[in-house]
Amino acid sequence: MKKTVLILAAISLVFASAEAKDKKQIKPISQVPVKVLVNDVDSMSYALGLNVGTDFARNLKAIPGGKSNTDLLIKGFATAMKGDSALMKPEAAMEFFKGYITKAQAKDAEVKKTAGEKFLAENKTKDSVITTASGLQYKVLVAGNGAKPQATDSVKVNYQGFLIDGTKFDSSVDRGEPITFPLNQVIPGWTEGVQLMSVGSKYKFFVPYKLGYGEKGAGNGAIPGYSTLIFEVELLGIKPLKQVAPVADTKQPVAPKAVKKSTTTKRVK
């Protein structure tokens, strides 16, 4: 039993990233408890299985590699629940699961890394795209004529963030509220890129993973590891760092409301 709990715990850790991507709640058919079987225990058991199965089916999509055999998954689950003879011992099952996930995650990471490198290689050849010595790429969408910030300044910006497949993971524009943050407390791509901007300008940045969230990613999986990122940034204003209240946590995304479904505004690492 203890080993079974450990396996389920390991699975729940793998699935945790999927919960940040899909926060839509299923609307109940009725708010009134309904007994659909012979007695309350039967109805409770069925309801529990249905709820667990619904969440499990959705989270199963987060398995690295995107593949699973549902029939065997159900068979293994039923075997463990009933205490029947299993094809694997719990210890072997745990080790195999962990090994599979490790290999699948490495493969997925390599795919994302290669895709990002290919995207940047092709993007740098496009008109008006400029590549800096660090590998950061940018394009001027609107040229401003105001002052340029220094790394020790705080900046007020509107921005939108995308993965290279077009997925939008964050947007102050959608929230209808610009954000102000110290420029030296964000991801390197932002620190470097925003210093190139004049107040009133709007740039599009193409950020390699090394200048973004690195190998680990962010936003509980909304920004996977090795992700090349695209940001549209409008610089609205500059404030000396001393005019902005001290920031308690410098390790958070810019404003991950769209990433973590939180009302707290945070910063790009």
Catalytic residues, which ones? 159, 169-170, 187, 213, 231
DSSP 196-262: TPPTT-EEEEEE-GGGTTTTT-BGGGTB-TT--EEEEEEEEEEEEGGGSPPPS--SS-S-THHHH--
Nearest to 61 by CA among 21, 100, 6, 113: 21
- Beta carbons of 99 and 10 less than 8 angstroms apart: no
**Residue 102 tokens, joined:** 């490790």
Nearest to 58 by CA among 109, 16, 94: 16
**Distance from the Cα of residue 6 to its chain's centroid:** 25
